[in-house]
């Protein structure tokens, strides 16, 4: 699952932040030039960014510039270890697109990163900590019902959602919302009936 891979990076980052204080400020990485997000391509295989500058640009495209310009940007290196591409100051964490159908860079606030940590470690999310996330380039998921699926079932397809935001960790307060992504233009619940249920809200 593409989003699962991205969230594993956030989980590593959240764990690192909870175990150690941030080091003294050193030279700041040059910010990526501000630019309007490119329109999301049609669904299909998309080559992920490879250079640091490309990954920073990709990660920043996930959220409004007011958020992403001051966010910490992280990725995973070829050995599966977390790598910080840019140290942020506003408590948000963004990660670039990775290999899978479609584009899905993501930005999460601090509570969202804790929620992601719980998901990746198969634990219950922390109580009373609603999180928020941006995926303004869209997203690709292997399943809308199985939080830990890494690929769709033989009879299913990838769940491709257009640009959206996510409300995370609000328990079971989803009455009245669809639990299937039948209409990608209206809000729906992903992973309904699990501790990781969250509201997907299309923005275009």
What CA–CA distance (Å, rounded) separates 110 from 14? 8
How many Cβ atoms sit within 10 Å of the Cβ of residue 42? 8
10-67: per-residue pLDDT in tens? Answer: 555 555 454 444 444 444 444 544 445 445 444 445 677 889 999 999 999 999 999 9
What is the pLDDT at residue 196? Answer: 95
126-151: per-residue pLDDT in tens? Answer: 999 999 999 999 988 889 999 998 88
Alpha helices in the chain (DSSP H): 2-19, 52-60, 65-68, 110-120
Whether 144 and 181 have beta carbons less than 8 Å apart is answered as yes
Grouping H, G, I as helix, E, B as strand and the rest as coil, residue 178 is strand
**Can you give the pTM of this predicted structure?**
0.78
Mean pLDDT of all residues belonging to the chain: 81
What is the pLDDT at residue 113? Answer: 93
């Amino acid at each position: 699952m593409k989003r699962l891979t991205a969230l594993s990076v956030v989980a590593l980052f959240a764990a690192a932040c909870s175990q150690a204080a941030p080091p003294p400020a050193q030279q700041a990485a040059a910010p990526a030039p501000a630019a309007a997000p490119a329109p999301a391509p049609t669904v299909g295989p998309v080559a992920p960014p490879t250079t640091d500058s490309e990954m920073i640009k990709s990660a920043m495209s996930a959220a409004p510039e007011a958020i992403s310009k001051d966010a910490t940007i992280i990725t995973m290196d070829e050995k599966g270890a977390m790598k910080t591409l840019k140290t942020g100051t506003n408590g948000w964490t963004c990660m670039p697109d990775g290999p899978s159908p479609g584009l899905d860079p993501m930005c999460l606030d601090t509570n969202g990163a804790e929620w992601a940590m719980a998901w990746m470690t198969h634990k219950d999310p922390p109580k009373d900590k609603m999180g928020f996330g941006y995926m303004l380039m869209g997203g690709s998921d292997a399943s809308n019902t199985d939080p830990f699926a890494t690929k769709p079932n033989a009879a299913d397809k990838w769940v491709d959602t257009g640009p959206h935001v996510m409300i995370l960790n609000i328990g079971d307060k989803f009455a009245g919302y669809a639990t299937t992504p039948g209409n990608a233009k209206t809000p729906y619940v992903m992973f309904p009936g699990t501790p990781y249920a969250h509201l997907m809200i299309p923005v275009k």
